[in-house]
């Protein structure tokens, strides 16, 4: 699969609908609502070009049945976030999403706390990447903005890296500027190696206006803020507002 440098046209909006599933699962899976396929379709109507879901090992939100449904109906590209475990690789091989994004995962965390240590996990990840790419699934690594992690992702054959923006969005002043410089340096390194540059975590309407200035950025994945905005504006309009920010 080619990883040649891409000509940047626009930034693809991936909408993560995990927290719609969180609302459904909060009553122990006894309700059928919100309907995730309906949420995905509303997101696409609002301007999403990709639907992102994280099948966690503890199944706290997305369930196996959701992955099956969304990959079958495929209202847009499906990006499956998952831990680097044999079980999750089997799920991906079975349901065949368009993308797999390898992410770190800890049972006790409220949400993903940082990037995957691809450099340390190369021996574990290499056969997983090969098996998934063999059936046409593209691979992204969810990492900190680190040159070492970018290079390790390249060496493993990933098509893209997704930079964890969760720290950057919370920082202020000089610390925020230092983190921005790390993001720029890592994005430039990724581009030079022919990797696609993605970003996500903690982004809202305000911070998306800033992150879209990241050099070579081709994709953002945004979830929690959009589900929160949807309580006021509805999901389709919330996604449409985010899409307009990316286009402006």
Q: Provide, rounded to the nearest whole percent, the portion of the chain with pLDDT above 90.
A: 92
Q: How many CB atoms lie within 10 A of CB 213?
A: 9
Tokens 């699934």 belong to which residue?
A: 137
Helix (H, G, I), strand (E, B) or coil at 21: helix
12, 20, 61, 102, 223 from 74: Cα distances, Å: 16, 17, 19, 20, 18
Instruction: Give the closest residue to 197 by CA, choosing from 218, 211, 181.
Output: 218
What pLDDT does 43 receive? 98
Gap between the Cα atoms of 139 and 203, Å rounded: 22
pLDDT for 55 beyond 70:
yes
pLDDT number for residue 29: 85
Residues identified as active-site: 54, 81, 201
SS3 state at 24: helix
pTM: 0.93
At residue 234, does pLDDT exceed 60? Answer: yes
- Segments making up each domain of the chain, as ranges: 12-247
Query: 129 or 28, which is more confident?
Result: 129
Given this model, what pLDDT does residue 5 score? 45
Output the pLDDT for position 6: 46
Looking up tokens 């410089």 gives 181
Q: What is the mean pLDDT of residues 166-178?
A: 97
Q: How confident is the model at residue 114 (pLDDT cuts 50, 70, 90)?
A: confident
The pLDDT score that the predictor gives to residue 158 is 98
Q: Is the pLDDT of residue 8 over 70?
A: no
pLDDT in tens, 77-93: 999 999 999 999 999 99
| Torsion, Cα of 235, 238, 243, 244 (10° steps) | 150
How much is the mean pLDDT over the chain?
Answer: 94
Question: How far separated are the first and last CA of the chain, in Å rounded?
Answer: 32
Strand ranges in 28-169 using DSSP code E only, listed in sequence order: 50-54, 77-82, 99-102, 138-143, 160-164
Tokens 């990316």 sit on residue: 246
Stated length of the chain: 248
* Per-residue pLDDT band at 113 (split at 50, 70, 90): low
33 burial via Cβ count (<10 Å: 0-12, 13-18, 19+): exposed
Reply yes or no on domain 12-247 having CATH 3.60.21.10.
no
Work out the pLDDT band at 111, boundaries 50, 70, 90.
low
Q: What is the pLDDT of residues 92-108, one digit of tens each?
A: 999 999 999 999 986 55
């Amino acid at each position: 699969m080619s990883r040649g440098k891409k000509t940047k046209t626009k930034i693809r909006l991936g909408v993560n609908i995990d927290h719609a599933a969180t609302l459904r699962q909060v009553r122990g899976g006894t309700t059928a609502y919100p309907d995730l396929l309906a949420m995905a379709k509303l997101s696409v109507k609002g301007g999403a070009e990709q639907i992102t879901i994280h099948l966690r090992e503890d199944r706290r939100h997305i369930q196996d049945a959701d992955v099956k449904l969304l990959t079958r109906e495929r209202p847009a590209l499906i990006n499956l976030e998952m831990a680097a475990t044999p079980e999750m690789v089997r799920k991906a091989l079975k349901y065949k999403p368009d993308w797999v994004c390898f992410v770190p995962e800890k049972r006790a965390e409220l949400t993903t706390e940082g990037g995957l240590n691809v450099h340390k996990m190369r021996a574990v990840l290499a056969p997983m990447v090969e098996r998934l790419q063999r059936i046409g699934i593209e691979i992204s690594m969810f990492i900190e903005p680190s040159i070492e992690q970018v290079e390790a992702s390249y060496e493993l054959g990933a098509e893209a890296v997704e930079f964890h923006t969760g720290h950057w969005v919370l920082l202020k002043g000089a610390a925020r500027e230092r983190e921005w410089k790390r993001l720029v340096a890592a994005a430039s390194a990724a581009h030079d190696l022919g990797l696609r540059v993605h970003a996500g975590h903690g982004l809202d309407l305000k911070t998306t206006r800033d992150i879209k200035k990241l050099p070579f950025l081709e994709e953002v994945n945004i979830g929690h803020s959009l589900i929160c905005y949807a309580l006021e504006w509805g999901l389709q309009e919330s996604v449409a507002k985010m899409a307009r920010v990316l286009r402006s």
